[in-house]
Amino acid sequence: MKMKRLVALLILIPAVILASCGGGDDEPPAPLTADPQGQIANSVQQTVAAIAVAQTVAALTGSATPSGVTTPSGGATPSGGATPSGSVTQPTSTSALPTPVVTPTAAPPGATAAPPTDAPAPTVAPVTGAPTCTVISGVNLRSGPGTAYEPPVGSLGPNTTLRPLAYTPTGFPQGAWLQVEVVGAGQVAWVSAGPQFVSCTVDPATLPRPAAIPATPRPPATNPPPTATPQPVANLPPDLRNVSSGATCRDDAAINASEPIVDPRFLLRIDAELFDPPPGESGNGAGIDRVEFAVFQAGFTHTERNAGFCIFQGGEPDCQAWPRNALGQPTWGVGGPVVVDGDYNIGVTIFPRPETFLSECQWAISLTIDVP
């Protein structure tokens, strides 16, 4: 449509110009007259008509720009800013490329963002399952298993927590004792295992036996030792003094055990029998399976199954004499270490026969040995 208007306009322009000039070439020029003012007026009219046509053409050509023709910026606009009637304005569109926008991923409905937390500091897991004991009433700490270990090395009040280390059924002079560590203080000592003193999370009898038991303090001598008749050194037996003993039986009415026999010739003998022995048995050793001896300071042990039960073997009627080496010195068993002066603790355990289903008894003997 715009192209048609432009063609028509191009045809119209010459016609208007010709008309304003007064016709074609066939018409003879107007004769000159003596009125020059008339010619001037005619020329002015033609000029005004040509200017009007030019303005019309300019207005039409400025509004009808063919498709594909670029109008330079800053083009002329008719005075007053008005667009001629009937003109078509071609809008100019300069679209900028859209700037990409990063949109954060939305959290699913109901999700709550967890606040940042600091990494927890490593903690030491407490040791679980280890046996403990608790003091029931005031109890003394001693250097060894028994009241013979005087004076006490300390005392503990109720609710004190202990870690049990070892157990001995027979203290000195008697009773069961626990070797313990005082929790928090680290002190290691002995306390009575009596239920009136301590309560443990395990049966104390299931704890290990002590590797060694300290010698009991030597009490002051009340009487001077008897003067021995001079004899060859090899024939003199050791001197045994400060003897004390005590017994503990789990079944009090089961085993009839007499006082230990302490003799410098054979050191120790135990006579024992059941109060209610199996049928057909009677006398010393009736219903007894074995007797175990242990000298803690010397590391010597012996199991005897023959009555009377002697620490260096033997039996009825006599025990075997104290063993000696080639120099005549007494030894702990045949070929064992030489006996030296000192305080010794001897544990003795009497075992009934298994078929009786009776519990054992323990004797604890402490003594001082002086070797000639």
224 by DSSP, 3-state: which?
Answer: coil
Q: What distance separates the 2 farthest-apart alpha carbons in the chain?
A: 200
Burial label for 352, CB within 10 Å (0-12, 13-18, 19+), is buried
- Output 331-334 pairs: Cβ under 8 A, ≥24 positions apart: 332/295, 332/298, 332/299, 332/300, 333/300, 333/302
What CATH number is given for 133-206 in this structure?
2.30.30
Every domain of the chain and the residues it spans: 133-206, 233-370
pLDDT digits (tens, 9 = 90+) for 59-118: 665 544 444 444 444 444 444 444 444 444 444 444 444 555 445 555 555 545 555 555
pLDDT digits (tens, 9 = 90+) for 156-188: 999 999 999 999 998 887 789 999 999 999 999
Tell me how far the alpha carbon of residue 179 is from its chain's centroid.
Answer: 29
Confidence at residue 254, expressed as pLDDT on a 0 to 100 scale: 86
Confidence at residue 271, expressed as pLDDT on a 0 to 100 scale: 92
Residue 42: is its pLDDT beyond 80?
Answer: no
Cα 268 to Cα 143, 219, 240, distances in angstroms: 26, 21, 11
Confidence at residue 112, expressed as pLDDT on a 0 to 100 scale: 52
**Strand pairing category for 239-249 and 139-141:** unpaired
